[in-house]
Amino acid sequence: MTAPRSEPPTADAATYDLTSKISPYLDLHMMFPLLEYIDSLISSKSISYSPQDVAQARLELLKPTHMVDYAMDIYREVHGENATIPQDMEDQKAGVFKLMEELTIGQAKFEELCMNEELRVSLVFIIYIIIICTPSLLLFVVFSHILLFINLRHLS
């Protein structure tokens, strides 16, 4: 007679989690859906990570990005809803808005050109002529993309 078989110890998903191994190779923006998935595993009790640790990791990943409002939300999640937002986050948010304003001002002339029907038609015609007369594939690709962008901006 053989001895009764004992059940092997069960391992939670953390045993097989490769997040820490693959994360250095992922773009920062690809990490956020992965962390959301880990949050769902935590809530379903499939993994034994601390929600606070995952939120803190998300907060650290957000620091070099321009997603300041999201970082502030995560900061409140980690430190409590009534927590005072650090001044460096407030400064970063002001910097992002300043950059956005500068970029908006910088592209205003191009947007005006794209929205002016008469100029847009003339520019499209000129680009068609250049495409037809240009033997270079590189120039063809560049002008085709400009033409596509102008047409898309006009439709929106």
Mean residue pLDDT across the chain: 81
Q: What is the pLDDT of residues 13-36, one digit of tens each?
A: 777 888 888 888 988 888 888 889
In the 8-state DSSP scheme, what is residue 116? -
The pLDDT, as a whole number, for residue 72 is 93
**Residue spans of alpha helices (H) in 13-136:** 19-22, 28-43, 51-62, 68-79, 87-106, 108-115, 117-133
The pLDDT, as a whole number, for residue 9 is 45
Of the pLDDT bands very low, low, confident and very high (cuts 50, 70, 90), residue 99 is very high
> Is the model's pLDDT at 80 over the cut of 60?
yes
Task: Give the residue carrying structure tokens 């995952």.
Answer: 54
> Is the model's pLDDT at 152 over the cut of 70?
no
The pLDDT, as a whole number, for residue 8 is 47
- Note whether 153 and 115 are within 8 A (CB): yes
Please report, rounded to a whole number, the percentage of residues in the chain having pLDDT higher than 70: 81
> Is the model's pLDDT at 7 over the cut of 50?
no
Q: What is the pLDDT of residues 107-127, one digit of tens each?
A: 888 888 778 888 878 877 777
Phi, psi (5° rounding) for residue 118? -65, -45
Q: What is the pLDDT of residues 131-149, one digit of tens each?
A: 676 666 666 677 777 777 7
